[in-house]
Structures are given as C-alpha cells and as structure tokens.
Amino acid sequence: MNPVLAELHEKARAVLDPVHYDFFAGGAGDEVVLAENEAAFRRLALLPRVLRGEENGPEFPVLISPTAFHKLAHPDGELATARAAGTVLVSSMASTVPIADVVAAATGPVWFQLYLQPDPEVTEELIRRAERAGCAALVVTVDSPVFGRHRRDLAHGFHDLPAGLAAENMRDLPGTPGLRRIEMAPFTWADIDRVRDLTSLPVWLKGVLHPDDAVLAVEHGVAGIFVSNHGGRQLDVVPAALDALPAVVDAVGGRIPVVLDGGVRSGADIALALALGASAAGIGRPVLWGLAADGEAGVRKVLDALRDEFEHVLALCGGQLSRDMVVVRC
Ligand SMILES: Cc1cc2nc3c(=O)[nH]c(=O)nc-3n(C[C@H](O)[C@H](O)[C@H](O)COP(=O)(O)O)c2cc1C
Ligand SMILES: CC(C)CC(=O)C(=O)O
C-alpha cells in the first residue's frame, strides 16, 4: 500500500466516530471479498520491459468511484472531494451535497452515479438533475438489486444518517415532498434501454463481473463499464475485482472502455489494472480516508501520492503496460 494512503487511513480511523468508520470500512458478510480485492494485487507481478527509451505512457488513469455520505467523513463533504478531485469524480446519488453544488465546486468532470428507482418518474427527475447540473455522464450501478448486508452496520444499529445530514439528491422528488428513501429493486436491460432513450448523456454500468453481461452492455449501447464488486459490499462470494477483469476485457474486445475498482491502493495496483486491460482504475475508500483525515487537502494528498507513484512505476516498466507483462507470483 502507498505509505501516504496508509497514514491517512490510520488518521481517519483515529478521528472518525467508530460507527461511521465501520460504515466506510466494512463489507458484506464475512468480508472475504473486501480482503480479496486487495490480496488479488499481491498475487500478481509485472515483468518490466527494458531499453525502451522515453515512451509516453497513459495520463494519470484514476477516477474517484462513487461513495455515499461524505459529510460523515468531513463537514465539507462532497464539496471538499470535488475541489480536490482534478480528475473524473463519480458523484454518488447518495451524496450529502446536492449534485448541482458538487459540479459547481468540481475541478474535473463530474459523472452522476444512479440507482434506478422503482418509480420511473423519480429516476427521470434524478437524471434531469444530473443533466441540469452539468454532469458529463451517468453511471448506473447494477450490482444492487437488493441492499448489501453489512454486519458491522447491523451490529451498531446504523441505519440512518445523523440529524442534519441527508442524501440531498433525494429531496422533493415526484410524489414525495421532502426526503425520499433510496430504494433497490431488480431491474432489467429494458430499463437500461429506457435510460439511454431518456438522455443524451453517455450511460455507463457499474458492477459488471460476468463476461456475458459485458457483451450485453456493449449490445445495449452502454458507453463503458466498471468491473466492480462494490468494494466487497454486496455479494461476499464473488471474485476479487482484479481477478474478474481479464475475462471482461476479452469479452468487450476494445469496443468500450473498462474501468476497474476495488482494492486499488498504490501506483503498482493501478499499473496492474491497466496491464490487464483496464482503461482506468477507480478508488473508493482511500478518498474517504483522505477526506476524514484532512478534508480537501487529504483527498488531494491521496491523488497526488497515487499519481507520483504510478508515474514512477510506469517509468520503471519502460513506459508501457500490457498483459504479457503480468505474471502470477510463485
Ligand atoms: C462507504 C462506501 C459507500 C459506497 N457508496 C456507493 C454508492 O453510493 N454507489 C455506488 O455505486 N457504489 C458505492 N460504493 C462502492 C464504490 O463505488 C466502489 O465500488 C468501491 O468502494 C471500490 O472499492 P475500494 O473502496 O476498495 O476502492 C461505496 C463504497 C463504500 C466503501
Ligand atoms: C446504498 C447506498 C446508500 C450506499 C452504497 O452503495 C454503499 O454503502 O455501498
């Protein structure tokens, strides 16, 4: 793990209310997948190429994956994250700052993460809010037909945000004055088609693990996919996100970009994801640790540390990353 990230994690653990720390840190079930996401990177190694001179590698290929409730981490919440981002920020539908304010504060493109809602008018209004705010894409999370079961939250009895905090995008939606609860439901590809018909924004899917679903995503005109197991917070029997990546990349065959998130904690992790065919890596918890430890400056430290380390790893790899450079450790 990058030492800056490790230090910010320790600081976050020390300053956060333990209930909120556990909400951020925890996973589903026995937290097997939570641990595996990081362990999968340790099982792989990179064979660097030599004598390549000065090759131009990819730009800093990191985006901020959507995480809920940033005001639990810091009073400035998503505003601090947006100010620090400087790269794509996928803003959670469950943000504690309305999406228009997130976009206004942002230093890079903002994409809106959407959980489709059972009432289509509610879903449409959320999409319109994202459009009006100036979001550059929609990211529909498809790995959550039901809520994950997080034992740490259940043990603490943590179900609701403290007084004064709310999922601000869920205010004053059709049919409900005031706040509406986020609902999960089992949607279908026809619902994705409807979202595509409703908006001219690029529509990404987040939470694809099966290669056949990746092919369906391409066939349904999706702009890109996130190979993700929701940071180990949904089904605790799936593979590590990194282990699911190569088959999805092969199925997609370069037709759309594939982002990997889950367990990315260093420049080497980013390099491994790219070598296995990801266009970019997403980071979830490290941003929350930076935010909790030091607000906007903390998020910036996370991104700067990863950028610096990734560039160093890339230089040591001869400026290029490809699958033939990845080997399994003995
Ligand atoms: C506290 C927390 C809240 C999350 N909230 C959301 C969310 O609102 N929407 C979503 O699509 N994913 C959500 N995720 C999943 C992240 O987008 C991402 O897939 C995951 O955190 C990546 O793994 P990492 O934390 O190991 O980097 C959340 C993850 C965490 C840890
Ligand atoms: C269910 C959401 C409010 C947040 C989420 O996706 C998560 O906590 O993993």
The DSSP code sequence of 193-248 is HHHHHH-SS-EEEEEE-SHHHHHHHHHTT-SEEEE--GGGTS-TTSPPHHHHHHHH
Alpha-carbon span 171 to 137, nearest angstrom: 21
User: CB neighbours of 158 closer than 8 A, spacing ≥ 6?
Assistant: 19, 20, 22, 23, 152
DSSP-derived 3-state class of residue 8? helix
Does residue 206 line the site of ligand 1, with CB under 6 A? yes
Kindly report the average pLDDT of the chain as a whole number: 97
* Ligand 1, pocket-test mutation among 233, 269, 289, most atoms within 8 A of CB: 233
Alpha-carbon span 152 to 154, nearest angstrom: 5
What pLDDT shows up at residue 56? Answer: 75
The strand ranges marked E within the chain are 44-46, 62-64, 89-91, 110-114, 137-141, 171-173, 176-179, 203-208, 224-227, 258-261, 280-283, 326-328
What pLDDT shows up at residue 57? Answer: 74
Cα 316 to ligand 2 centroid, rounded to whole Å: 37
Q: Backbone phi, then psi, for 224, in 5-degree steps?
A: -175, 165
Residue with the smallest CA separation from ligand 2 atom 4 is 68
Query: Per-residue pLDDT tens for 203-220?
Result: 999 999 999 999 999 999
Does residue 233 line the site of ligand 2, with CB under 6 A? yes
What pLDDT shows up at residue 54? Answer: 75
Residue with the smallest CA separation from ligand 1 atom 14 is 67
Identify which ligand lies nearest to the alpha carbon of 34: 1
Alpha-carbon span 148 to 235, nearest angstrom: 7
Query: Per-residue pLDDT tens for 220-261?
Result: 999 999 999 999 999 999 999 999 999 999 999 999 999 999
Measuring CA to CA, how many Å separate 275 from each of 89, 238, 320, 328?
23, 22, 8, 13
Quote ipTM for the complex: 0.99
What pLDDT shows up at residue 140? Answer: 99
- Residues with catalytic annotation? 230
Residue with the smallest CA separation from ligand 2 atom 8 is 68
Give me the domains of the chain, ranges plus CATH numbers: 3-50+57-323 (3.20.20.70)
Say how many CA atoms lie within 13 Å of 328 toward its Cβ.
4
Query: Per-residue pLDDT tens for 44-101?
Result: 999 999 999 877 777 899 999 999 999 999 999 999 999 999 999 999 999 999 999 9
What pLDDT shows up at residue 53? Answer: 85
Identify which ligand lies nearest to the alpha carbon of 70: 1
Residue with the smallest CA separation from ligand 2 atom 9 is 233
What is the token pair recorded at 69? 């409730």
Does residue 182 line the site of ligand 2, with CB under 6 A? yes
Tell me the whole-structure pTM to 2 decimals: 0.98
Cα 92 to ligand 1 centroid, rounded to whole Å: 9
